């Protein structure tokens, strides 16, 4: 078994902190087995190094190693990516495709950001962990695979389980062994060591002298929180190496590259949701649908009143609160707009239709009967009545509209519509 120091040299891991050494020791110990491993830690701490160590020290090292970023694959295609699909199983599936679990048979799959997996995919993954079986998308044939799974996440998995976004049984299957990588702020003895390594690498890459920090700058470097961890430190080292002409970096110069230099305050993490945040998208959608259903029932009631009564003004007076609820403060204009296509029912001749409808034994068939008997002549009747009313009142729209039981504005539109 290789020593921790040898492994760090082999995989380019910099640091001597006890927590980092313990994480590497655990990786070395579990590597020869087929135990599932969950690597936890903040973003940027170098979690991707652990699965590589585990794979290279295992009996699977000569087989495939595939790293999958679960958060970068769209939800609609992740099942196809992981498990493959059959030709014609969905739009665009022009040929059968092998998934990662089929390609990596006998090897290791690293599932990065495993907490981002959809629940349906979690069920499929659980089956692979339990008995090594999976189904391609669009297939009913069970296939076998012998894959070692190493997963990683920067999320609080217990919070995800509590919210219902991650299966508890899958979590315990993945985390047979949990390897935690500490954040950079808990490895203060490694910060300057890492900076020197990065500065040396960039000096070679860009063919320039290596930058060095003054004692005051080193103190600033150690006090910084490094929320982005090793990734952030590397970026700072690269910026300083490229942009600074003076290769000795002072504290003031370094502060210009740090977003909150000298701040070592704990990050504010929201641990509980407010009541407004507690409603899920599904609950909001249900509320919208229930509101729409209520409004639709109100409109049905109003339409039925119009059909039975035949007098728009009376309906408007008797249903003032209902109209106010549906159309708001501008109910008069909106209401007239809404009943444009229904106002013909308030014309006296249409009262006969209403009475005929009410005499039918089955109220649910009346609309069908009207459509068959009256629809074709409705246009002509409306046109004829408007003409007669305008002639009777010498073209005075206000009087004609009152007689017809419609608004003057609606009558004006009807006149334009029929080119009268």
Q: Which of 79-88, 329-338, 391-400 has the lowest mean pLDDT?
A: 329-338
Q: Is residue 271 part of a domain?
A: no
Ranges of H-type helices in 37-156: 49-56, 78-83, 100-103, 119-131
Mean pLDDT of 351-357: 46
At 195, the pLDDT band (50, 70, 90 cuts) reads: very high
Confidence of residue 406 (pLDDT cuts 50, 70, 90): confident
Same structural domain for residues 221 and 132? no
Lowest mean pLDDT among 40-54, 306-320, 385-399: 306-320
Model pLDDT, residue 61: 95
Report the pLDDT averaged over residues 31-37: 95
Is residue 186 within 8 Å of residue 19, measured between CB atoms?
yes
Asked whether the beta carbons of 191 and 221 are under 8 A apart, the reply is yes
- Domain span at 10: 4-182
Domain check: are 164 and 250 in the same one?
A: no
Cα(115)–Cα(255) distance, rounded to whole angstroms?
A: 35
Contacts of 79 (CB under 8 A, 6+ apart): 85, 120, 121, 124, 137
Report if residue 273 sits inside a domain.
Answer: no
Say if residue 10 is in the same domain as residue 70: yes
- Distance between CA 96 and CA 99 in Å, rounded? 10
**Predicted local confidence at residue 64, as pLDDT:** 96
Mean pLDDT of 376-389: 74
Q: Which CATH number do you get for residue 237?
A: 1.10.8.60
Q: Write down the residue that tokens 């970026």 correspond to.
A: 235
Q: Which of 182, 201, 222 is the last residue of a domain?
A: 182
| Same-domain status, 194 and 151 | no
| Residue keyed to tokens 């921790």 | 4
Please give the DSSP secondary-structure letter assigned to residue 107: S
CB-based burial label for 119 (10 Å; 0-12, 13-18, 19+): exposed
Q: What is the mean pLDDT of the chain?
A: 82
30 shares its domain with 167: yes
Percent of the chain with pLDDT over 70: 75
CB 403 within 8 A of CB 393: yes
Tell whether 197 and 337 lie within a shared domain. Answer: no
Within a domain: 129: yes
**Is 196 found in the same domain as 171?**
no
Is 169 domain-assigned?
yes
Q: Is residue 327 part of a domain?
A: yes
Residue 137's CB is within 10 A of a number of other CB atoms, namely 19
Both 227 and 310 in a single domain? no
Specify the range with the lowest mean pLDDT, choosing from 106-115, 142-151, 286-295, 301-310: 301-310
pLDDT (0 to 100) of residue 242: 95
- pLDDT value of residue 313: 63
Tens-digit pLDDT profile for residues 78-125: 999 999 999 988 888 889 999 999 999 999 999 999 999 999 999 999
The torsion defined by the Cα of 70, 75, 79 and 81, in degrees rounded to 10, comes to: -60
Number of H helices, E strands in the chain: 22, 9
The pLDDT assigned to 360 comes to 46
Average pLDDT over residues 298-312: 68
Confidence at residue 91, expressed as pLDDT on a 0 to 100 scale: 84
CATH number of the domain enclosing 83: 3.40.50.300
Q: What's CA 162's distance to the chain center, in Å?
A: 19
Per-residue pLDDT at 407: 83
Please give the pLDDT value at position 55: 97
- Distance in angstroms (rounded) separating the CA atoms of residues 188 and 191: 5
The reply to whether 75 and 216 lie within a common domain is no
Cβ burial of 364 (10 Å; 0-12, 13-18, 19+) is: exposed
pTM over 0.75: no
pLDDT at 57: 96
Burial of 87 (0-12, 13-18, 19+ CB in 10 A): exposed
Q: Specify the number of domains making up the chain.
A: 3
Helices of type H across 145-256: 157-163, 168-174, 188-206, 215-223, 229-243, 251-255
As given in the structure block, the two tokens for residue 281 are 């998208």
Residue 227 domain-assigned (yes or no): yes
Q: Is the pLDDT of residue 259 over 90?
A: no
Nearest CA among 315, 318, 334, 314 for reference residue 326? 334
pLDDT value, residue 358: 46
Of residues 151, 146, 157, the one with CA closest to residue 176: 151
In this structure, the answer to whether residues 191 and 237 fall within a common structural domain is: yes
The two tokens of residue 92 are: 């665009």
Is the domain of 208 the same as that of 340? Answer: no
Same domain assignment for residues 81 and 160? yes
- Look at 312 and 249; give whichever has higher pLDDT: 249
Is 350 in contact with 310 (CB distance < 8 Å)?
A: yes
> Phi-psi bin for 85: left (phi > 0), alpha (psi -120 to 50), beta?
beta
Give the max Cα distance, the chain: 109
């Amino acid at each position: 078994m290789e020593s921790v120091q040898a492994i760090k040299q082999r995989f380019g891991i910099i640091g001597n902190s006890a927590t980092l050494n313990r994480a590497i020791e655990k990786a070395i110990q579990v590597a020869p087995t087929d135990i599932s491993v969950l690597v936890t830690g903040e973003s940027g701490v170098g979690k991707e190094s652990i699965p590589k160590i585990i794979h290279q020290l295992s009996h699977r090292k000569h087989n495939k190693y595939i790293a999958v970023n679960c958060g970068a694959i769209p939800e609609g295609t992740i099942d196809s990516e992981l498990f493959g699909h059959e030709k014609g199983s969905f739009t665009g599936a022009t040929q059968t495709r092998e998934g990662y679990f089929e390609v990596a048979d006998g090897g290791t799959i690293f599932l990065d950001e495993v907490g981002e997996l959809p629940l349906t995919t979690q069920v499929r993954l659980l089956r692979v962990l339990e008995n090594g079986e999976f189904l391609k998308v669009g297939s009913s044939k069970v296939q076998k695979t012998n894959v070692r799974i190493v997963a990683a996440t920067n999320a609080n998995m217990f919070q995800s389980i509590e919210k219902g976004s991650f299966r508890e049984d899958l979590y315990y299957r993945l985390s047979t062994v949990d390897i935690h990588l500490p954040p950079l702020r808990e490895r203060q003895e490694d910060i300057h060591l890492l900076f020197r390594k990065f500065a040396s690498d960039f000096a070679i890459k860009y063919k320039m002298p290596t930058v060095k920090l003054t004692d005051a700058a080193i103190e600033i470097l150690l006090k910084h929180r490094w929320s982005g961890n090793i990734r952030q430190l590397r970026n700072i080292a690269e910026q300083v190496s490229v942009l600074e002409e003076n290769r000795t970096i002072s504290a003031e110069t370094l502060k210009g590259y740090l977003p909150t230099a000298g701040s070592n305050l704990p990050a504010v993490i929201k641990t509980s949701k407010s009541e407004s945040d507690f409603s899920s998208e599904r609950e909001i959608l249900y509320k919208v649908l229930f509101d729409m259903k209520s409004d639709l029932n109100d409109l049905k009631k109003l339409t039925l009143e119009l059909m039975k009564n035949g007098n728009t003004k009376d309906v408007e007076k008797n249903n003032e609160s209902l109209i106010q609820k549906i159309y708001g403060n501008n109910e008069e204009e909106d209401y007239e707009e809404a009943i444009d296509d229904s106002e013909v029912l308030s014309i006296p001749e249409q009262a006969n239709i209403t009475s005929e409808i009410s005499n039918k034994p089955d109220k649910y068939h009346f609309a069908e009967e009207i459509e068959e008997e009256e629809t074709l002549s409705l246009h002509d009747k409306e046109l004829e009545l408007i003409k007669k009313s305008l002639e009777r009142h010498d073209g005075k729209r206000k009087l004609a509209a009152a007689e017809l039981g419609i608004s003057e504005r609606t009558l004006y539109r009807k006149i334009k519509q029929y080119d009268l």
